[in-house]
């Protein structure tokens, strides 16, 4: 006879936090949201610690290189999606790692015989307004000039105008030789009131750019997550099929942490993947695994050596795994059980394996609930898909600006590796949908507003850190009637506004 869980599985929306005593020290500005990303032993610290408890989902419609930079700037980590070629994923990782090294390799390059139309097309493709003009149009060519938005006026120039006729030529540029330190480069930028400084070698070939905006952004983003070389931290998704090829390429590109992207992680396929990584790289390579929904699944992956474990099956807004296959569990119930198992595992072994809550986050306060229930951080897809920095297009739907958002199990993504059970290499049926989400603007504005709510709620619970919240939190199940009571009711609203 099948085993039956006695308790129904619950969602985040069925719980509320009960306030605790707040001292005068409990103010949002004093709250720390630092949290470990990968496993560590008792008495030690995690090799990777995030400044905020947020990572982006391993999805085509969410985690591209632009979002990875924006999220790292806020203190979180993005996992570049793995449902693309090894070469393309590695190139995205390399682009993120090169973005904040201070010395940035140019990815907007053109030859002097090209036209204004080519400049505009390149700008539309890369989003960058500074274009290096090199003799051969490559990033390593001999620098002959630069084109910025100040060098042309679209309304007054022919699209056929040659770049050589309106670029700022080399003799009018301030450059610096290869070997210039970042401090020296920034001093030159300030002394000459520049927006960018080309770094060239003895043969005049372009090596790097140093941008004023990078210095300014560093000062404006004190929580940005950087590695030892002051490059942005970035993660990358892998699967259980081509890891022997994908993992080395991603590590060569500079990936700081990997994560096995799978809808269900309690399998030998994940065990084999982690074992291969440990055999070839030991403990130096950090790799998360999942997804699981119970203590048994957690224990299995922890024993396999996973550096963090994701919890959640079927709770994502675009996921229909529960509908199509009838497997899964309410996110709150799954998270509570797995985090209890995590604490037991830590007590037994002295090894702390961080837990990531993946899915089921509908409102901002669900993040605080997930943290209170034991999660070390949350993985978000729909949340990040709404922002400027996600890799999808903005679309006008019925007069409302939306962004495209599709699941990895949808026919559009066709990420069969994520749902691989060892059979043929194809997607037999869909486990995700193709949809739209309301456009919400810049990532930084939204993340800061969301985390302001998290910090405020933590203060209501008398907690100044995530571990303290988990220790002090008191949660109560709520009835369907009290959920209605918790919103605006028995009034006529002047204007309607829904939290997304």
Active-site residues: which are they?
319, 418
Beta bridge partner(s), residue 405: 435
Residue at token pair 């149009």 = 137
Instruction: Kindly state the helix (H) or strand (E) to which residue 475 belongs, with its residue range.
Output: strand 475-477
Phi-psi region of 422 (alpha: psi -120 to 50; beta: other; left: phi over 0): left
Residue 56: beta bridge partners?
Answer: 78, 380
Output the six-digit token pair for 228. 């030892």
Q: How many Cα neighbours within 13 Å face the side chain of 113?
A: 3
Distance CA 126, CA 107 (A): 8
Secondary element (H or E) of residue 86: helix 86-99
Q: Kindly give the pairing relationship between strand 109-110 and strand 131-134.
A: parallel
Specify the residue for token string 């008495």.
Answer: 43
Query: Do the strands 377-380 and 54-56 form a parallel or antiparallel pair, or are they unpaired?
Result: parallel
Q: In a 3-state reduction of DSSP, which class is residue 443?
A: helix
Supply φ then ψ for residue 46, to 5 degrees: -65, 140
Using CA atoms of 44, 344, 268, 294 in order, give the dihedral in degrees to the nearest 10. -130
Residues 6+ apart with CB under 8 A from 168: 145, 146, 147, 148, 151
CA dihedral angle for residue 310, residue 312, residue 315, residue 317, rounded to 10 degrees: 10
Distance between CA atoms of residues 327 and 345, nearest Å:
26
Beta-sheet strand order (sheet of 109-110)? 109-110, 131-134, 143-147, 168-169
Distance CA 430, CA 412 (A): 10
Task: Quote the longest CA-to-CA distance of the chain.
Answer: 83
Provide the 8-state DSSP code for 83. Answer: S
How far apart CA 205 and CA 136 sit, in angstroms, is 11
Q: Identify the bridge partners of residue 15 per DSSP, sorted by sequence position.
A: 477
């Amino acid at each position: 006879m099948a085993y039956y869980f006695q308790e129904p599985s619950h969602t985040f929306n069925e719980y509320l936090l009960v306030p605790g005593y707040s001292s005068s020290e409990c103010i949002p500005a004093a709250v720390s949201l630092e949290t470990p990303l990968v496993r560590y032993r008792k008495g030690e610290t995690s090799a990777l610690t995030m400044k905020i408890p947020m990572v982006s989902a391993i999805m085509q419609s969410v985690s591209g290189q632009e979002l990875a930079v924006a999220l790292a700037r806020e203190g979180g980590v993005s996992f570049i999606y793995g449902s693309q070629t090894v070469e393309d994923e590695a190139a995205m990782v390399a682009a993120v790692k090169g973005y904040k090294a201070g010395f940035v390799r140019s990815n907007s390059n053109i030859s002097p015989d090209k036209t204004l139309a080519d400049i505009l097309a390149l700008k539309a493709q890369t989003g960058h307004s500074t274009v290096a003009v090199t003799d051969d149009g490559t990033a390593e060519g001999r620098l002959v000039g630069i084109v910025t938005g100040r060098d042309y006026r679209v309304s007054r120039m022919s699209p056929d105008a040659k770049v050589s006729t309106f670029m700022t030529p080399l003799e009018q540029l301030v450059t610096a030789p290869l070997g210039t330190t970042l401090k020296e480069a920034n001093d030159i930028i300030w002394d000459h009131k520049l927006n960018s400084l080309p770094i060239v070698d003895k043969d005049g070939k372009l090596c790097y750019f140093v941008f004023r905006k990078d210095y300014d952004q560093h000062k404006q983003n004190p929580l940005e997550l950087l590695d030892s070389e002051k490059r942005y931290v970035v993660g990358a998704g892998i699967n259980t099929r081509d890891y022997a090829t994908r993992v080395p390429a991603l590590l060569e590109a500079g990936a700081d942490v990997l994560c096995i992207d799978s809808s269900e992680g309690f399998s030998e396929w994940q065990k084999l993947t982690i074992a291969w990584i440990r055999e070839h790289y030991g403990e130096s390579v950090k790799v998360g695994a999942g997804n699981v929904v119970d203590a048994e699944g957690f224990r299995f992956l922890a024993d396999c050596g996973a550096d963090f474990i994701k919890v959640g099956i079927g709770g994502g807004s675009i996921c229909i795994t529960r509908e199509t296959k009838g497997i899964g569990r309410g996110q709150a119930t799954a998270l509570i059980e797995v985090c209890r198992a995590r604490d037991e595992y830590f007590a037994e072994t002295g090894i702390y394996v961080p837990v990531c809550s993946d899915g089921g986050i509908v409102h901002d306060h669900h993040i605080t609930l997930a943290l209170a229930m034991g999660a070390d951080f949350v993985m978000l897809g729909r949340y990040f898909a709404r922002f400027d920095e996600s890799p999808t297009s903005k679309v006008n739907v019925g007069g409302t600006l939306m962004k495209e958002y599709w699941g990895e199990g949808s026919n559009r993504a066709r990420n069969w590796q994520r749902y691989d059970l060892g059979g043929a290499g194809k997607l037999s049926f869909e486990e995700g949908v193709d949809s739209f989400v309301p456009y919400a603007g810049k990532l930084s504005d939204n993340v800061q507003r969301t985390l302001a709510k998290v910090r405020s709620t933590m203060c209501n619970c008398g907690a100044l850190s995530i571990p303290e919240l988990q220790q002090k939190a008191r949660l109560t199940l709520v009835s369907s009637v009290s959920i209605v009571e918790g919103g605006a009711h028995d009034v006529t609203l002047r204007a309607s506004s829904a939290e997304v």
